[in-house]
């Protein structure tokens, strides 16, 4: 089974932009809010669309918008991947 890792998410967030280059490298990256990392809601939605394409998984938009940290998004994606 494929799963989304922190490294995968960092690469995806870098590709959609919207934040300082080093924000994805921050030590507390996983538990810091997307807003504090410099990613607005549009960047998070773009990242989610990228994840949906790359991992062939459907993510409900209301779930995407309530996942406020990288770790919460990773956990949500991996739950959907496990149930697919």
Predicted confidence at residue 77, as pLDDT, reads 97
The ranges assigned to domains in the chain are: 6-83
Predicted confidence at residue 17, as pLDDT, reads 81
- With bands split at pLDDT 50, 70 and 90, how would you rate the model's confidence at 84? confident
Predicted confidence at residue 39, as pLDDT, reads 92
Looking at beta carbons, which pairs linking 42-51 to residues 24 or more positions away fall under 8 Å? 42/18, 43/13, 43/16, 43/17, 43/18, 43/19, 44/73, 46/16, 47/9, 47/12, 47/13, 47/16, 47/73, 48/73, 50/12, 50/15, 50/16, 51/4, 51/9, 51/12, 51/77
Q: Which residue has the higher pLDDT, 37 or 20?
A: 37
Assigned CATH topology for domain 6-83: 1.10.1200
């Amino acid at each position: 089974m494929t799963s989304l890792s922190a490294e995968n998410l960092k690469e995806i967030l870098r590709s959609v932009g919207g934040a300082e280059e080093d924000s994805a490298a921050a030590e507390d990256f996983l538990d810091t809010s997307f807003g504090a990392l410099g990613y607005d809601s549009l960047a998070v939605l773009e990242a989610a669309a990228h994840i949906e394409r790359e991992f062939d998984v459907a993510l409900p938009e209301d779930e995407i918008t309530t996942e406020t940290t990288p770790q919460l998004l990773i956990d949500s994606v991996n739950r959907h991947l496990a149930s697919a």
